[in-house]
Structure 1
Amino acid sequence: MSGRPLTIVVPVYNDPEGVKRTLHSLDSQWVPDISVAVVDNGSSDETHRVVKNFAPTHIDLCCRSESTIQSSYAARNTGIRHVDADVIAFLDADVTVADNYFDRALAHLERNDLDYLGCRVDLTIPDGQHTRTARYNAHTGFPIQQYLDRHRYVPTCALFVRREVFADVGLFDPRLISGGDMEFGNRVDATEYDMGYCADAVASHPVRTSLRSLYGKNVRVGRGHCQLQRYYPKRYGEPPIPPRHEPLDVETADLSIDDRLAFGALSTAMTAARASGYARELLSPSDTGADVDGPPSL
């Protein structure tokens, strides 16, 4: 191998507590030569100080900055460019991982000769925050295998990619507010790299407990859908008709009648949020990465 076997890239923006939890989780891992690159995307709070002052025991930690483009995908690209690992893993700044997460993921990657790997993500509800919104978010979940099987991508909260893939197909598209993980995964799939899923490597992602937060996320998703069509009409269709995706399966058998009714109402509200974001982006396009023509090269 030319460099380290593995580096974890963690983008962060104004989330000191989230990135602290993630770093403590990573520092508990006993993986040889593990390195972590945290990329601060122009935080205006104490996030950068928290990362700089973190004293790791088992991991080699470095902190980079990406302040030119306000985009988690731009931050990930900065991390990719500054590491020399053969495999690059991605986690979000509020994600924690189970013991042997990296051992199991890398073993699965090597055993099956894969180039692109998604891992299981469990959504967790913080103590004392079992709101209906939180329970709805946990119920709809992060069905990573369905994302991979039906939409041909893995969210960047639990993704492993060989460096050679980035060298071949390019990096993430920093112009996208949302959907950059899907666009990249679809690009990888189109070049026929081997993609897979590892259910034994588990990451934990906290749910959104407030309606405002969940609604805001879906607005961003809607805006991302519109951007995908603007930049990639041959793949995702042209505005003003939003792209259609094969629906995901969500179990409802264990829900009470009250929860079924409430979750149905929340699902309708989230659909409206995505439509609102789509319309907003259609009428007033964002200028994120305005000087970028597309996915940059490695």
Structure 2
Amino acid sequence: MTECNDFFGRSIVIPVYNDPTGISKTINSLLGSFQSPPEILVVDNGSTDDTRDVIRNYANEHPNVHLLGEDEIQGSYAARNKGAQHAEGDVLAFIDADETVDDDWLETALQAMNEQNVDYLGCNVELTLPEDTLVGRYNARTGFPVKQYLENEHYAPTCALLVRREVFEDVGTFDSRLISGGDREFGERVYEAGYEQGYAEDATVYHPARTSLNALASKNFRVGRGFCQKQRYYPERFGKPGIPPTPSGDGDDDEDEPDSGLTRAAFALLSIAMLACRGFGYYYEYAFGEKRDDVPAPTR
């Protein structure tokens, strides 16, 4: 395993689609966090607004910021693969547009990676509330228990993930055929290949919670579709298509129960609704989805 004791040899990959404000916030956060800036690869996934122009302006002003385009395959995993393909670092860090980081996020994560002697590292994700809505508070309570993901399912979300380059060279890239769940599929592949995985509690990434019912429902619908796709491509690992997974209850924690009985009741209804959205997504994909022969399987 190659050690990375300083910031040299590290790259940050950020996929983005139609989010000029979010990517500006993320790049500004990164540029203000390092004395010796890392390589920042921003991959525009075929945006139809001015997102690419915004990134280009940053790239023109900052030599460590690079604009890449993934216009052939629509999907965040394809965009991450494009970034990984062009990255020069020995350690690749993945975050999402609209996120911000602590000033010492990357330094802390790299230190944890070396101290734990791991090849794959998940970071702490703290959900923030852009606006105080019931849906936002529900999402903040139920989202991204990264430590549990690693312990129980052997993956970390790609919004806060560090991976050594040699891992990609061995197990292959993210599966860009998947609309959702590619982070779990990749993480399990890494685990099955024998690579050590770790978690950095003190390396924090800040992710805005989804504050509207439509945004949260769309996300859960996409998650349902993604699981059915994983069964379609990996039935030996995820089960036969047509049999949906047992609800996991990710993020539920009795210690975080809201004080108000009315709020608890609303959260319970939201949980049922989001589970239904996942089910609708699953069976929509099962009924209408097809194998994507136009998109390559993961490659080394």
Task: Classify the TM-score, shorter chain.
Answer: over 0.9
Q: After TM superposition, give the deviation of residue 244 of structure 1 in Å.
A: 3.1
Residue correspondence of structure 1 range 180-199 to structure 2 within 5 A: 180-199=182-201
Alpha-carbon distance, 1:206 to partner: 0.2
How far did residue 291 of structure 1 move? 2.0
Which residue number corresponds to residue 258 of structure 1? 262
Alignment partner, residue 124 of structure 2? 120
What is the alpha-carbon distance in structure 2 between the residues aligned to residue 143 and residue 282 of structure 1? Answer: 28
Name the % identity.
49
Cα distance in structure 2, aligned partners of 1:50 and 1:77: 22
Give the whole-Å Cα distance in 1 for the aligned partners of 2:36 and 2:118: 21
Q: Tell me by how many angstroms 1:247 deviates.
A: 3.8
Paired residues of 2:229 and 2:285 also in contact (CA < 8 A): yes
Give me the whole-angstrom Cα distance separating, in 2, the residues matched to 1:42 and 1:161.
25
**1:213: Cα distance to partner?**
0.6
1:59-208 matches, cutoff 5 A: 60-126=64-130, 129-208=131-210
Q: Partner letter of residue 210 of structure 2?
A: R
Contact 1:36 1:59 in 2 (8 A): no
Greater Cα shift, 108-117 or 49-58: 49-58
Calculate the TM-score normalised by the size of structure 1: 0.94
Query: 5+ residue gaps in structure 1?
Result: none
What's the counterpart of residue 30 of structure 1?
34
Q: Equivalent residue of 1:37, what SS?
A: strand
2:215 is aligned to 213
Aligned counterparts of 1:71 and 1:246: Cα–Cα separation in 2: 25
- Structure 2 length as normaliser, TM-score? 0.93
For 1:90 and 1:176, how far apart are their aligned partners in 2? Answer: 17
The 3 A distance-change label for structure 1 pair 69 and 55 is closer
How far has the Cα of 1:32 moved from its partner? 2.6
Tell me the CA shift for residue 251 of structure 1: 2.4
Quote the residue 2:58 is aligned against: 54
Shift of 1:99: 1.4
Contact 2:146 2:156 (C-alpha < 8 Å) held by counterparts: yes
CA contact 1:29–1:58 (8 Å) conserved in 2: no
Check the 8 A contact 2:15/2:45 in 1, yes or no. yes
1:86–1:162 Cα contact (<8 Å) kept? yes
Shift of 1:112: 1.5
Q: Secondary structure at the match of 2:222?
A: helix
Q: CA deviation at 1:33?
A: 4.9
| SS in structure 2 at match of 1:122 | strand
For structure 2, the 5+ residue unaligned runs are none
The alpha-carbon deviation at position 30 of structure 1 amounts to 1.6
Deviations 1:126-168 (A, max 9, x none): 1xx2111111101112111011111110000000000000000
Q: Quick one: which amino acid aligns to residue 193 of structure 1?
A: Y
User: Given the alignment, which residue of 265, 277, 281 partners 2:281?
Assistant: 277
Contact 2:59 2:66 in 1 (8 A): no
Q: Is the 8 A contact 2:231 2:241 kept in 1?
A: yes
Q: Which amino acid aligns with 1:166?
A: F
